[in-house]
Amino acid sequence: MTKGKFLTVEGVEGVGKSSNMDFICDLLERNHIPTVTTREPGGTFCGERIREILLDKRVLDLSPVAELSLLFAARAQHVYEVIKPALDKGSWVVCDRFTDSTYAYQGGGRQLSMQLIAAVEALTLDGFRPDYTLLLDLDVAEGLNRAANVGEKDRFESENVAFFDRVRSTFLERAGQSTRTTVISAAPPLQEVQAQIRVWLATMGVNDAS
Ligand code: Z5A
């Protein structure tokens, strides 16, 4: 059996990850590719419990290292319980955020050392990485503005603009160093963004089967 592909969708808050994940999965399914959709932090029973802690605004003074450890604990379980088994069965896995978010938020945003993050990544994931990553890029103020219309702010969303500017810069910096990452501007209307995503998927042999 051919192994599936592992796709991740990344970006700062409000770039349209959720909206575009649906579009990607729909296109994969129309191409008869078995697809598993998931998210981080979360994706398993254990990971969703960790997500609750991480997003809870009542958690007032979580140390950045504790935050990092929780994220990688959830991720290790997610890879073990959901992602690798699905890939082994030949399914494609599309994940809303993965390790790039940790470099961007905990490295860029919280300013933890990138070496520390790399060390925890190596310890918990043993070199496991996405095959393809889509980075949706958008001006931070516009992203926060879009997200402001969707529900109450969580622990991360309560951070200031400087925090999100560092997150965005780190995403872009890492994308520039990696051949697996494609950057698409999330500024145009959704249909135009999705036309670019179609081009991205076509590079993997996924065509518009409508
Ligand atoms: N986090 C972390 O710190 N470290 C890690 O390692 C990981 C995560 C994995 C939860 O993530 C938090 O965890 C996250 C970082 C942290 N917090 N923050 N910030 P999440 O992915 O669950 O939450 P999120 O990033 O806040 O997602 P979101 O607010 O749901 O945003 P989105 O999914 O990217 O956007 P959306 O809901 O699809 O779209 C937002 C709105 O914009 C919506 O009304 C859309 O209709 C609209 N939209 C979308 N596209 C367009 C275009 N092109 N034009 C106009 N309007 C648009």
| Cα 19 to middle of ligand 1, angstroms | 9
Whether 144 lines ligand 1, by a CB cut-off of 6 Å, is: no
Ligand 1 centroid from CA 2, angstroms: 32
Q: Is the pLDDT of residue 102 over 60?
A: yes
Predicted confidence at residue 18, as pLDDT, reads 92
What pLDDT, on a 0 to 100 scale, did the predictor assign at position 154? 87
Q: How many angstroms separate the CA atoms of 164 and 166, rounded?
A: 5
Give, for ligand 1, the residue of 9, 13, 171 to mutate: max count of ligand atoms closer than 8 Å to Cβ: 13
Per-residue pLDDT of 141-197, as tens digits, reads 999 999 887 777 888 888 999 999 999 999 999 999 999 999 999 999 999 999 999
Strand order in the sheet with 6-10: 35-39, 92-96, 6-10, 132-137, 181-185
The C-alpha atoms of residue 159 and residue 94 are separated, in whole angstroms, by 27
Strand, helix or coil for residue 47: helix
Per-residue pLDDT, averaged over 101-123, amounts to: 98
pLDDT at position 88 over 70: yes
- pLDDT value, residue 74: 98
Per-residue pLDDT reduced to its tens digit, 18-67: 999 999 999 999 999 999 999 999 999 999 999 999 999 999 999 999 99
- Judge whether residue 209 has pLDDT over 80: no
Asked if the model's pLDDT at residue 210 lies above 60, the reply is no
- Atom from ligand 1 closest to the CA of residue 20: 38
* Cα–ligand 1 centroid distance for 160 (angstroms): 16
pTM, rounded to two decimals: 0.96
First to last CA, the chain: 27
Average pLDDT over residues 195-203: 96
Test site for ligand 1: of 9, 17, 100, 145, most ligand atoms within 8 A of the Cβ: 17
- Give me the phi and psi of 147, to 5 degrees please: -70, -25
